[in-house]
A and B are shown apart, each in its own frame.
Chain A
Amino acid sequence: MKKIKATILSLAVVFSVCAAFATKPHWTCTTLPQYWYNGVGYQPVSQFYGCMQGSTTCTYYTLNGGITYSPCAVGTYNNCPSCAVETPNSAPVNTAH
């Protein structure tokens, strides 16, 4: 019984570790269509949008056709190109840890 237990549990651990590494995102989210949250819902960003300096989430992306959205670029969304001082960056703001 101990052998069966060891086999089943080892398989579970090895499989889950491999799966976690295999599904680790290896792309930057900015390569996907970007959306911004207007307080009510998510809209595609304008062609010349910019992310102003700030610690909130500027743009979001979706992997399931708009069912859920994940944060991507950091800053404050601004669709005025002349106001944009920062290009979207996939790296979120460095928080206090």
Chain B
Amino acid sequence: MFKRQVLLECISALLILLFVYASLSKFLDFRTFYKEMDNQPLPNSWTPVLVWVIPCTEVAISVSLIFERTRLLGFYSSLVVMGLFTIYTGIVLAHFFPYVPCSCGGVIKRLTWTQHLALNLFFVGISIVGVVIQSRKRFQTISITKQNKNSFV
């Protein structure tokens, strides 16, 4: 139980590390990020929305992973976001687009698309582990609470 809890904290920490770093890097070099979003194969009218939605979502996921009550939601959100990034990377690697510039913050932009895919898959994997452990933990807590209630009756 203790080991599982430590593992859960480590997974949360890794995801927080990724999302806080990625969002802050985008905000710190916002103009470059804006132009890079403009160069994505998406309608340019989406750019003003996406440049705020993406980093803000990353911050929101980080915050939700800190608190016990919102952690499961944080793991699910992380899984969805990393899943979407992974699909996007896969599409790029499949040469679906003629060219797509990297739109990642900080040192992550130095990675090749294959390395990107590996990194994304790793974070998808730990998000799944997080969802499973956190769900079991929640289920156990609910079961214990119900048992306690029944024993009083």
The answer to whether B101 touches A20, judged by C-beta atoms less than 8 angstroms apart, is no
Nearest CB on A from B27, distance (A): 8
Name B52's closest neighbour in chain A (CB-CB): A97
The answer to whether B110 touches A63, judged by C-beta atoms less than 8 angstroms apart, is yes
Select the stretch in B4-12, B77-85, B125-133 that faces chain A.
Answer: B4-12
Nearest CB on A from B14, distance (A): 7
Complex contacts, A97 vs chain B, CB 8 Å: 48
The answer to whether B6 touches A4, judged by C-beta atoms less than 8 angstroms apart, is yes
The answer to whether A13 touches B20, judged by C-beta atoms less than 8 angstroms apart, is yes
* Majority secondary structure of chain A interface residues (helix, strand, loop or mixed): mixed
Complex contacts, B20 vs chain A, CB 8 Å: 12-13, 16-17, 20
The answer to whether B35 touches A57, judged by C-beta atoms less than 8 angstroms apart, is yes
* A85 and B55 alpha carbons, distance in the complex (Å): 36
| A9 interfacial contact with B, CB 8 Å | yes
Complex contacts, A9 vs chain B, CB 8 Å: 9, 12-13, 16, 66
Within 8 A of B (CB), among A1-48: 1, 4-5, 8-9, 11-13, 15-17, 19-21, 23-25, 29, 37, 40-41
| A82 interfacial contact with B, CB 8 Å | no
Interface residues of A (CB under 8 A from B): 1, 4-5, 8-9, 11-13, 15-17, 19-21, 23-25, 29, 37, 40-41, 57, 60, 63-64, 67-71, 74, 91-92, 95-97
Interface residues of B (CB under 8 A from A): 2, 5-6, 9-10, 12-14, 16-18, 20-21, 24-25, 28-29, 31-32, 34-36, 38-39, 47-48, 62, 66, 98-99, 101-102, 105-107, 109-113
